[in-house]
Amino acid sequence: MPAPDELDIQTAIRKVRDGDKEAFRRVVKVHALPLRAFLAGRLYHLDDVDDLAQDCFITAFENLERFRDGEDFGAWLRGIARNKLMTHFRTLARRKSAMERFRGEIAEVLDSDHEKLAANLSGERIERLLRCITELPEKMRRIVRAGLEGRRAAELALELGMSSGALYTMNHRANKLLRACMEKSE
């Protein structure tokens, strides 16, 4: 015989199907904690847990006609959650891949800019460049020096307490300032 909560859920589902949308609150109340626990065991960020749990309940509500009476609603809901998780992970992978491509493109642009600068540097221009570097704000100066020393961006970002993306952006700005300073000095 089904547990009392499960009987209550079956009754709530029938009421929702008969047009009482508020009855779904009972379903959410009974299954919210177990669903969140299921999702939290697979996700890192609690915000993602909240978002996916809400999305699962919306999907369950919208597809309630597909649920077969007498079956385990929790299992059905976890099936929805598994599908949402797979979609979530695929989306994260696409975003990460896009960010890595972006970082690679930025590195290529910066490398070619650095290469052009290096090819055109005479003793006098090197002195001007060093002076321009000293005029940069402290954080930008550290980033440029670290780049010249060949330090890894991830280590530097951690040391400076910033994300890798913010580091790349600041490096790009520093290079623009250096270009402007060098052009002004000529």
Domain 4-92 has what CATH class? mainly alpha
Where are the domains positioned within the chain? Answer: 4-92, 120-185
The pLDDT of 34-44, averaged and rounded, is 89
- Just give the CATH number of 120-185: 1.10.10.10
pLDDT at 91 over 70: yes
Give the contacts of 156 (CB within 8 A, at least 6 positions apart).
Answer: 142, 143, 146, 167
The pLDDT of 96-110, averaged and rounded, is 75
Q: What is the pTM of this model?
A: 0.52
